[in-house]
Structure 1
Amino acid sequence: MSRTISVGLDGSPESRAAAEWAAREAELRQLPLKLVHVWEPAPIPVAQTAPPGAETQQHWSERIPRESAEGLRLRHPGLEVTTEQVSGRPGEVLPRLPKEDTELLVLGSRGLSGIGGYLVGSVGSAVVAHATQPVVLVRAGEQAADEHEMDPAGIPSTAGPFRPVVLGLDADHPDDSVIEFAFEAAGRRGTSLRVVHGWNPPPYFAYGLTADLEFHAELARGQTAALAEALRPWRRKFPAVEVMEKSHFGGPATHLVDASREASLVVVGRRIRRNPLGAHIGPVTHAVLHHAAAPVAVIAHA
């Protein structure tokens, strides 16, 4: 079965930006692109056979993916673009796309006006929280040039090298799938990987029962060593990828958001939890999704 890069498309500016990003990613991976349009039909009143305007609604639902596919084929010659229309609620349908043939699922999120960040709606949150395949969220207005270093005139240009890929890593519980995704993304782009790790001291230190600066320095050295050890086998596996790692005191979310301003892609993990209260994104990933200034890839893992 052929694997694809799939993108949720609804005709909004953010979904169109996501489709363009997905097309570029499909070219990097040499995979076909699938535009998935989830059509949620209006409820039919009991006294009617069809809701008012149903034919018009269906016409537009078919026109959106068709015209988007035509435009993408023109802008990305040689890229195989297919469309699929599914009936249902997007937040329920998109996470259930078969993992076996969906290598990556891409969604759009509304950019926050004037500052870096996302407005992650209910569909995006539901998909990120429940999808088992990697999910990338792309802001409205995201351009190909935004992923590249600035030219000598200070203007982002696709002629320049890619900006670094940023990885948020929990050095105490590193997950192979998250790390591998980030290294592969950096390798495809021919760029460096910047690894960000945050840590907090034990409660008895944080609450002032221990004020020994040397003890703090010892904790910092231990965290730095743990980060280096977690990355050691991956440096050997991806020798062409330059790795820059930094262990920061404090929570990682702020440091990841800061690093995203100079990134082509931010990679974070989401631990899959099965409990009666439902799936959760996690506080660090939640903060990054809402405030990062670059596309964010969320990798679900056990």
Structure 2
Amino acid sequence: MVRTVVAGLDGSAESLAAVEWAAREANMRGLPLKLVHVWEPVPEPIAQAPLLGAETQQHWTERIPREAADGVRLRHPGVDVTVEQLSGTPRDVLARAAKDAELLVLGSRGLSGIGGFLLGSVGQAVVAQTERPVVLVRAGEQAADEHTMDPSGIPSAASPFRPVLLGLDTDSPHDTVIEFAFDAAVRRESGLRVVHGWNPPPYYAYGLPTDLGLHEELAKQQVAALAEALRPWRQKFPTVEVVEQSRYGSAANHLVDASHEASLVVVGRRIRRSPFGTHIGPVTHAVLHHATAPVAVVAHG
């Protein structure tokens, strides 16, 4: 069965940005694109009130997905576009739609005044529920934003892609996350920047400020661990130029800072089947809210 790139669509500016990003990704992967439009039924007492005219309801349930699909076909004639209209709770419907997808693309509002995301409850719930990769795209995201500056100093889609950025935990590096990042770099013909943040074990912490030798030794160990984790992947993807950065301090802060120069940020999420709910992890959570580039969350065991 051929997988599809699936984009969630609700007519908002962020979802339209997600659709456009998904169309470019589908074209890059040579896969069809499915736009999933979710209509959430209103409670019965409200449904009986004359709040929405027939024309308004038809606009939301028919016109928006049709116009979005027509626009994608016009701008990306090589992409096979279909529309699926589903009814239900958006987070549950989208999580189900992602099961057979190559990846799911969702929109997220940009934070006013500063770079980053405002990840809504639907997006956060979908990221936490699905086991397929989920990409979050900000409202207003443009194709040129993923590319380097042209000679005039302006980002241009005709220029090379910016590097893909991978956040890697050397204590538990997961093949699924690493391969997704390398594959994304290959498709973009870009480099891969791998960022690892580390902090000393608690029993070392008190000695670090005064023992520079201890700090240097721990730093060397972290650099070696990062190089070892990436060694087989460098061999598997020899055409990808890899830059490794092992830095002391918060991994989330380092990734957010580096996202300004990235075309795509790739982070992992451990799959947890717990009766107490689902979680996405503190680093991934912070990156989702504050990175300035699209973020791909790749679930792993």
Which category describes the TM-score, using the shorter chain as reference length? over 0.9
Could you tell me which residue of structure 1 aligns to residue 3 of structure 2? Answer: 3
1: distance between equivalents of 2:47 and 2:134? Answer: 41
Matches within 5 A, 1:1-302: 1-45=1-45, 48=48, 52-53=51-52, 55=54, 56-97=56-97, 99=99, 101-208=100-207, 211-302=210-301
How far has the Cα of 1:138 moved from its partner? 0.2
Q: Give, in whole Å, the separation in 2 of the partners of 1:154 and 1:294.
A: 19
> Which whole-Å CA distance do the structure 1 matches of 2:154 and 2:216 have between them?
41
In 2, Cα distance between equivalents of 1:71 and 1:258: 34
Instruction: Provide the C-alpha distance between the structure 1 equivalents of 2:72 and 2:290, rounded to a whole number of angstroms.
Output: 28
Greater alpha carbon shift after TM alignment, 114-123 vs 290-299: 114-123
SS in 2 for 1:97: helix
| 1:215 Cα offset (Å) | 1.5
Residues in 1 aligned to 2:21 and 2:234: alpha-carbon distance in whole angstroms: 27
- The C-alpha deviation readout for 1:29-79, integer Å capped at 9, x for no partner, is 00010000011011223995x865374424421211111000110011121
The answer to whether the 8 A contact 1:42-1:51 is kept is: no
Quote how far apart the aligned CAs of 1:211 are.
3.9
Higher deviation after alignment, 203-212 or 150-159: 203-212
For 2:107, what is the secondary structure of its paired residue?
strand
Residue 239 of structure 1 aligns to a residue in which SS?
coil
Aligned AA (1:5): V
Matched residues in 2 for 1:46 and 1:156: separation?
47
Residue identity in the other structure for 2:69: A
Q: Distance in 2 between matches of 1:51 and 1:246?
A: 59
**Does structure 2 conserve the Cα–Cα contact (< 8 Å) formed by 1:20 and 1:72?**
yes
- Cα distance, 1:52–1:46 mapped onto 2, change above 3 Å: closer
Asked if the contact 2:106–2:135 (Cα under 8 Å) also holds between the matched residues in 1, the reply is yes
Cα distance in structure 2, aligned partners of 1:209 and 1:160: 44
Q: In 1, are the aligned partners of 2:177 and 2:298 still within 8 Å (CA)?
A: yes
Following superposition, the deviation at residue 289 of structure 1 comes to 0.5
Q: Deviations over 1:104-163 (max 9, x none)?
A: 100000011232100000111111111110000000010000000001211000111000
Residue 76 of structure 2 aligns with an amino acid whose one-letter code is H
**Paired AA for residue 86 in structure 2:** V
Percent identical pairs in the alignment equals 74
- Compute the TM-score of the two structures, normalised by the length of structure 2: 0.96
Q: Where does structure 2 lack aligned partners over 5 or more consecutive residues?
A: none
**1:5 Cα deviation from its structure 2 partner:** 0.3
* Range that drifts further, 255-264 or 109-118: 109-118
Q: Which runs of 5+ in 1 are unaligned?
A: none
Shift of 1:290: 0.6
CA distances 1:230-269 after superposition (whole Å, capped 9, x unpaired): 0000001000000000100012001000110000000000
Mapped partners of 1:183, 1:133: distance in 2: 17
State how far apart, in whole Å, the 2-side matches of 1:221 and 1:47 are: 64
Q: Is the CA contact 1:273–1:280 (under 8 Å) kept in the aligned structure 2?
A: yes
CA contact (8 A) 2:208 2:215 kept: no
SS of the equivalent of 1:28 reads helix
Give a deviation string over 1:78-107, Cα, whole Å, max 9, x none: 2110000110011111112252x3001000
CA distance in 1, matches of 2:47, 2:291: 49
Cα RMSD after superposing both structures? 1.7
